[in-house]
């Protein structure tokens, strides 16, 4: 991976104040991209991400915007384009969970997932797509979930929103491929992050047992995938989904689970 370079690229990563977003931001910065760390509430966490990035020899900035709000997204990207002139890579990473069994699911829990995972991706992608097409280059990475492909009880809202993101990615990729812009969907399985630390230990043990590699992924592993996909080394890849789940999805599909 040391041969990959993102030098002279400007990358925007939403939801990068912690977790997988932070891990990706650090690797983008390490490989030379000027990395913009988006956050909505955790300014301190975003600043910590930026400080870590700079300590590792990279550079970047923090930018506040709630991806659910078009006016905030547009203001953030207007500032980015005015200040840095371009966006080479957009990583739509911001995500939330509102797990509830469907019979007890509140409409708010459904709407909040759609708002972040679909509307947020729409607003952010819309804000960069014209400039990318005009420049005839650019990459949009949409961070989905293995839950879009493997059924998980209590996640009807989460799975539906992430499955919608897969369709969004494929369709947009086809629209803009002729303009030199690539759109890729990434479906992580279980990764160590802030979203998973509260899970029941017994459930975690069960996930290890159904994952061929017998463990969860790390942020470093996720970041390696994202930076490769965003790099010019991967310039002939678009419109597809990369599943990064330790083999779990393949096994469950094989057994019809």
pLDDT tens-digit readout, 179-229: 999 999 999 988 887 666 667 788 788 878 878 888 888 999 999 999 999
Ranges of residues in the chain with a pLDDT under 70 are 1-2, 194-198, 251-257
Among this protein's residues, is 158 annotated catalytic?
A: yes
Task: Classify residue 2: in a domain, yes or no.
Answer: no
In this predicted structure, what is the pLDDT of residue 248? 80
What are the b/e assignments for 85-114, b being 16+ CB within 10 Å? ebbbbbbbbbbbbbbbeeeeeeeebbebbe
In this predicted structure, what is the pLDDT of residue 256? 45
3-state DSSP call for residue 73?
A: helix
Alpha carbon distance 3, 234 (integer Å)? 12
- Catalytic residue chosen out of the listed positions 39, 123, 158, 255: 158
In this predicted structure, what is the pLDDT of residue 43? 95
Sheet holding 34-39, edge to edge: 59-64, 34-39, 10-13, 89-92, 138-143, 181-188, 241-244
In this predicted structure, what is the pLDDT of residue 212? 84
Task: Classify residue 208: in a domain, yes or no.
Answer: no
How many residues comprise the chain?
257
3-state DSSP call for residue 4?
A: coil
In this predicted structure, what is the pLDDT of residue 246? 81
- The CATH number that applies at residue 134 is 3.40.50.720
CB count in 10 Å sphere of residue 137: 16
In this predicted structure, what is the pLDDT of residue 217? 87
Task: Classify residue 4: in a domain, yes or no.
Answer: no
DSSP state of 77: H
CB count in 10 Å sphere of residue 40: 19
Domain extent for 136: 10-198+217-247
What is the distance between the terminal CA atoms of the chain, rounded to a whole angstrom?
A: 34
Task: Classify residue 165: in a domain, yes or no.
Answer: yes
Task: Classify residue 150: in a domain, yes or no.
Answer: yes
Do 179 and 136 touch, CB atoms closer than 8 A? yes
Task: Classify residue 14: in a domain, yes or no.
Answer: yes
Tell me the β-bridge partners of 186: 143, 242
> Could you give the number of structural domains in the chain?
1
């Amino acid at each position: 991976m040391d041969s990959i370079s993102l030098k002279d690229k400007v990358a925007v990563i939403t939801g990068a104040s912690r977790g997988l977003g932070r891990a990706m931001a650090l690797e983008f910065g390490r490989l030379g991209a000027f990395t913009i760390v988006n956050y909505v509430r955790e300014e301190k966490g975003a600043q910590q991400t930026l400080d870590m990035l700079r300590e590792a020899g990279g550079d970047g900035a923090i930018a506040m915007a709630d991806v659910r709000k078009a006016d905030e997204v547009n203001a953030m990207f207007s500032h980015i384009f005015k200040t840095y002139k371009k966006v080479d890579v957009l990583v739509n990473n911001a995500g939330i969970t509102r797990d509830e069994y469907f019979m007890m699911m509140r409409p708010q829990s459904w709407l909040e997932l759609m708002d972040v995972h679909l509307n947020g991706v729409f607003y952010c992608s819309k804000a960069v797509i014209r400039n990318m097409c005009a420049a005839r280059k650019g990459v949009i990475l949409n961070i989905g979930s293995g839950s879009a492909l493997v059924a998980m009880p209590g996640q009807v809202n989460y799975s539906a929103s992430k499955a919608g993101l897969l369709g969004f990615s494929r369709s947009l990729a086809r629209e803009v491929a002729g303009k030199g812009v690539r759109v890729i969907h990434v479906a992580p399985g279980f990764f160590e992050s802030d979203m998973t630390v509260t899970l029941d230990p017994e459930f975690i043990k069960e996930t290890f047992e159904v994952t061929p590699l017998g463990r969860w992924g790390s942020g470093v592993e996720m970041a390696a995938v994202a930076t490769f996909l965003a790099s010019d080394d991967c310039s002939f890849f678009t419109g597809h989904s990369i599943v990064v789940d330790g083999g779990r999805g393949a096994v469950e599909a094989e057994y019809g689970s």
